[in-house]
Structure 1
Amino acid sequence: MKTQEVLDAKSWAEHTFGNVQLHDRRRTRRTIQAASNLAENPLGSLPAQMHDWKGTKALYRLLNEPDVTFAALMQPHVQQTREQAVSSPVMLLVQDTTDIDLSHRHKVSGTGQIGNERGRGFFVQTVLAVRPPTKEVLGCISQEPFARIRAPKGEQRHQRLKRQERETDVWMRQVGTIGTPEPGSTWVHVGDRGVDMFPFFLACQANQTHFLVRAAQNRRTEADEEEIKHSLDRARAFPSRQSRPLEVPARHGHKARSTQVQLAFGQMTLLPHAMSRKRATKP
């Protein structure tokens, strides 16, 4: 998308939602108008964004239509993002979870627990497509809202691990929804410490994509026939290949500071849990 289209709210709304499939052209026109108003005043309240109570009620009626779903509204944007992504030789697919706090909206139904036990709301899992050389964010290539289901009272850890469906499955679903890149393109799924898990690695491999994950687990690695070592210990022993300056902003009572990031890399073979236990007990 060109820069002037992003800056022009009306043009952006027409470009993004002009082909939305809502089974009625009047709904499409209302969607374009609402999106344009939202883009012009993103921090305003809904009545301020819609300019008057009539426009606000019209938006409520639109969103109450059975055909006007989250998936239907997002589909044109997701498709446009994907079309841009396939034109780049390397694309970062950055995934993370956002919590939407509705604790003060006591009459809203369909919410689940967020934060501590008293917080109520839902989560949105978002995957942004980013061009590495320019750091340009193309948009959402996949997005899924979901609510947390309360765990059964008294559930033990071993019971939780045996669940058929787990909350963390949302990470793998996004990888599967995005699928395989076009020939000649390299897609790299990027995640934080929460996605340091083998099902995510396997999902990326199954869809012929790479992954870059911040390590959280000091996993067992295969060193030789007689010895098991650990991933974080081995990674810290890799020799530094290059260093780069990094400005660390102030946060949580810590002052801003300048530091150096040491870049090091190497190869290792991670062992799944079952294999780790088997190899660790080998005589």
Structure 2
Amino acid sequence: MSWAAQEFETLDLGDARLNRRAVLLAEQLACKPGASIPNACRNWSETVAAYRFLDNASVTSQQIMDAHGQASVQRIAQHQVVLCLQDTTELDYNGQQMQGLGPLSYEAQRGMYLHPTYVITPEREPLGITNTWMWAREPKDAQGQRPGVLESSRWVESYERIAEQAAELPQTRHVCISDREGDLMALMVRAHEMGHPADYLVRCKHNRCLPEGGKLWPTMMDSAPLGCVRFEMPAGRGRKARVVKQEVRAQRITLQQKGQAAVEVTCLVASEIDAPEGVQPVVWRLLTNREVG
């Protein structure tokens, strides 16, 4: 049995021929992930069959993702800790004649947004995608406001799905990881309300006011460093490779937003010291529900 047949063993599209086509198409696209469908398929008849499969109204992406999700959960259950990475990507279909598209970063662009949860081990072994949120933005109205669902809610809902899975797999610790866009009090409050079935680690974007006075980032920098870390930063984006030395600070902090419950978080700051002249120091600010020793 091929890897694709194992992966989609639970797939049921209502027709055995559709199930077989899904497996074959997965194998072909995996062999040439950057290729178009005609280039990935071996001949014209397979290309036509692939387009017919994708155009079949009885085949939905959710059915395929559900089968992949079940296989992913089996892999996740074999590990003590998994990292659940959530982020948003643009699907740019600008210039193509398609229905159901919406604006992207620029109003003139057309496409959709995809917000998946990609699960890996701490050693970076991929385990699968367990949740996806796809939507098309609505155009802005005359007042420049965009109607429709509040897009920031995708971060909170994705945490809820991760937490539900963590409750079903109590032997596996799930860590929800988000970039700066996921630095939302709503996410931290929701995790607190649920009792933290899944941990979270968020890159800190907001220099929040603290209930007892002062602001988060200066308060952190006024605390004594716990120690130092050193690593080699590779070259990229116009920068040269160099060794980075950072002081690490961690402190338990209470955060509260008007009208919301107060939550306790750990703020961890790693700030570069002795950076070369003319180079912006590397500073990481993270928030987590976990206590740091």
Band of TM-score, shorter chain: 0.7 to 0.9
Show structure 2 runs of 5+ residues with no match: 262-293
Which structure's residues are more often helix, by fraction?
1
Counterpart residue type for residue 71 of structure 2: Q
TM-aligned CA distance change 1:246 to 1:147, over 3 Å: farther
Q: Report 1:1-283 matches (<5 A).
A: 11-105=2-96, 107-132=97-122, 134-155=123-144, 165-180=149-164, 181=166, 182-205=169-192, 206=194, 208-223=197-212, 228-274=213-259
- In structure 2, how many angstroms separate the alpha carbons of the residues matched to 1:238 and 1:95? 31
Tell me the CA shift for residue 275 of structure 1. Answer: 6.6
Counterpart residue type for residue 215 of structure 2: H
Cα deviation digits, residues 157-194 of structure 1 (max 9, x gap): xxx7xx78301111222222333313343221110110
> SS at 1:104's partner residue?
coil
Tell me the CA shift for residue 44 of structure 1. Answer: 1.8
Q: Give the number of equivalent residue pairs.
A: 256
Tell me the CA shift for residue 65 of structure 1. Answer: 1.8
Does structure 2 conserve the Cα–Cα contact (< 8 Å) formed by 1:188 and 1:212? yes
- In structure 2, how many angstroms separate the alpha carbons of the residues matched to 1:153 and 1:249? 46
Deviation larger for 209-218 or 77-86: 77-86
Tell me the CA shift for residue 81 of structure 1. Answer: 1.5
TM-aligned CA distance change 1:275 to 1:141, over 3 Å: closer
TM-aligned CA distance change 1:82 to 1:275, over 3 Å: closer
Give the structure 1 partner of residue 275 of structure 2. Answer: none
Give the structure 2 partner of residue 279 of structure 1. Answer: none
- In structure 2, how many angstroms separate the alpha carbons of the residues matched to 1:220 and 1:250? 36
Counterpart residue type for residue 5 of structure 2: E
TM-aligned CA distance change 1:198 to 1:13, over 3 Å: same
- In structure 1, how many angstroms separate the alpha carbons of the residues matched to 2:70 and 2:190? 22
- In structure 2, how many angstroms separate the alpha carbons of the residues matched to 1:44 and 1:112? 25
Deviation larger for 192-201 or 228-237: 228-237
Does structure 2 conserve the Cα–Cα contact (< 8 Å) formed by 1:189 and 1:204? no
> SS at 2:82's partner residue?
strand
> SS at 1:129's partner residue?
strand
Cα deviation digits, residues 225-249 of structure 1 (max 9, x gap): xxx1212222223332232223333
Give the TM-score of the pair, scaled to structure 1.
Answer: 0.82
Cα deviation digits, residues 204-244 of structure 1 (max 9, x gap): 33262221111111112233xxxx12122222233322322
- In structure 2, how many angstroms separate the alpha carbons of the residues matched to 1:249 and 1:44? 29
TM-aligned CA distance change 1:86 to 1:231, over 3 Å: farther
Give the structure 2 partner of residue 3 of structure 1. Answer: none
TM-aligned CA distance change 1:242 to 1:76, over 3 Å: farther
Does structure 1 conserve the Cα–Cα contact (< 8 Å) formed by 2:90 and 2:113? yes
TM-aligned CA distance change 1:119 to 1:155, over 3 Å: closer
Question: RMSD over aligned Cα, in angstroms?
Answer: 2.2
**Paired-residue identity, %:** 27
- In structure 2, how many angstroms separate the alpha carbons of the residues matched to 1:238 and 1:275? 27
- In structure 2, how many angstroms separate the alpha carbons of the residues matched to 1:189 and 1:140? 13
Deviation larger for 112-121 or 200-209: 200-209
Does structure 2 conserve the Cα–Cα contact (< 8 Å) formed by 1:222 and 1:268? no
Counterpart residue type for residue 188 of structure 1: V
Give the TM-score of the pair, scaled to structure 2.
Answer: 0.80
Show structure 1 runs of 5+ residues with no match: 1-9, 277-283
> SS at 1:269's partner residue?
strand
- In structure 2, how many angstroms separate the alpha carbons of the residues matched to 1:185 and 1:234? 34
